[in-house]
């Protein structure tokens, strides 16, 4: 066996700590336990802005004034309308298909009819990003309803992004409080540096592939349980635990048997995910408001036990999991919801990549055999 010239001293498994690019979009600061979108603290945005403002901020580079926001909202609401032909194609998908698989297929399908399909200019990519941000919510809602044997609900142009998604999913206008909490989770999920799905999108488009191809790559990456799928697994874990009185013993046993505890730890944050801190209080409030305080109580004991035993704190997926459960959102669309929030971030990274592109092509350390002689087939 031989080792290539690339030094093992410079190798970092999983590229941990490796600088792979320059961005103006989001800044993960572990030292200060903070996350910023284009210089704005995530907590400030979640408390005061709406998802549409944050999506505009990432795509266009600044917070919108009222006229800009109105125009952006008009564009989003226009994009929400899926054609009858497109809906019929969604209906042709297997009813038991994974929701991320159908989302991935739907986005690939959208690329075929996008009016800017052959235009990869900055302006065209901004238009594509805006359309996709509007389309994603409609696709996720329609896919789920179709999987349940129900007809998709047409979007309501009078509703904001978060409200409209809940309306299209449940076929009734949501409580304003629930819509606001949901909107905050979308803001928390919108971007997060060079995470796996974002990096996959940038790698794809660094080849000068198109924006839709980058988004398809991102969806496939987000599907994994170590990335977007963690919120679904975290809720399944809480359901398995069942009640606060069983939480501590469950965690102790899980740790002893090396069982993966989902929704905890983050490569970037060693002293806690600011998004989890942000959403935790709202998760508690929501839990009490809907008369199911046991979910926050159970989650709190799990978190306290993990901190005491392993010094590991929750990430954003942990409070989001039971926030969505308390909102009666189906568990199998938690990851697609993550995607419909993150699409604005993915698109913005793709635009940034293409605006100053360099093919992403890292080296690898070779440790295989060397200088083997070919043996003819009849001698093997």
Active site residue 156: no
The DSSP output letter for 344 is H
Active site residue 317: yes
Active site residue 266: yes
User: In the Cβ-directed half-sphere of 225, how many Cα atoms lie within 13 Å?
Assistant: 10
Q: Which of helix, strand or coil describes residue 188?
A: helix
For 118-171, the DSSP string reads T--SHHHHHHHHHHHHHHHHHHHHHHHHHHTT-PPPPP-TTS-HHHHHHHHHHS
Q: How far apart are the first and last CA of the chain?
A: 21
Which of these is catalytic: 116, 191, 210, 317? Answer: 317
- φ, ψ for residue 40, nearest 5 deg: -100, 130
CA distances from 2 to 59, 370, 371, 372 (A): 46, 6, 10, 11
- Give the whole-angstrom CA distance, residue 31 versus residue 164: 37
Which of these is catalytic: 266, 273, 296, 349? Answer: 266
- Give the whole-angstrom CA distance, residue 266 versus residue 287: 25
Which residues does the annotation mark as catalytic?
Answer: 227, 266, 317
């Amino acid at each position: 066996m031989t080792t290539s010239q690339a030094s093992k001293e410079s190798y970092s498994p999983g590229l941990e700590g490796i600088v792979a690019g320059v961005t103006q979009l989001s800044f993960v600061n572990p030292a200060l336990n903070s996350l910023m979108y284009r210089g704005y603290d995530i907590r400030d945005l979640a408390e005061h802005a709406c998802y549409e403002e944050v999506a505009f901020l990432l795509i266009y580079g600044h917070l919108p004034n009222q006229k800009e926001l109105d125009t952006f909202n008009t564009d989003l609401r226009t994009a929400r309308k899926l054609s009858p032909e497109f809906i019929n194609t969604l209906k042709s998908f297997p009813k038991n298909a994974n929701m991320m698989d159908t989302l991935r297929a739907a986005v690939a399908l959208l690329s075929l009819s996008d009016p800017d399909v052959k235009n990869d200019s900055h302006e065209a990519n901004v238009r594509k990003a805006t359309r996709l941000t509007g389309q994603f919510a409609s696709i996720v809602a329609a896919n789920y309803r179709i999987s349940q044997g129900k007809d998709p609900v047409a979007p309501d142009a009078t509703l904001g992004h978060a409200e409209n998604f809940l309306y299209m999913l449940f076929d009734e206008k949501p409580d304003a409080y629930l819509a606001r909490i949901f909107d905050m989770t979308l803001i928390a999920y919108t971007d997060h540096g060079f995470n796996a799905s974002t990096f996959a999108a940038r790698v794809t488009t660094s080849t000068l592939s198109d924006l839709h191809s980058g988004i398809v790559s991102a969806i496939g990456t987000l599907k994994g349980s170590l990335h977007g799928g963690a919120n679904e697994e975290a809720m399944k874990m809480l359901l398995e635990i069942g009640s606060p009185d069983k939480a501590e013993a469950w965690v102790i046993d899980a740790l002893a048997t090396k069982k993966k505890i989902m929704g905890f730890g983050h490569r970037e944050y060693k002293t806690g995910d600011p998004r989890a801190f942000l959403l935790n209080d709202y998760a508690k409030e929501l839990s009490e408001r809907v008369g199911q305080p046991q979910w926050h109580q159970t989650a709190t004991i799990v978190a306290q036990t993990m901190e005491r035993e392993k010094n590991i704190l929750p990430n954003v997926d942990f409070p989001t999991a039971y926030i969505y459960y308390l909102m009666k959102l189906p568990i199998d669309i938690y990851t697609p919801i993550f995607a419909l929030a993150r699409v604005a971030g993915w698109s913005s990274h793709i635009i940034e990549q293409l605006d100053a592109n360099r093919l992403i092509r890292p080296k690898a350390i070779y440790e295989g055999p060397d200088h083997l002689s070919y043996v003819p087939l009849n001698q093997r």
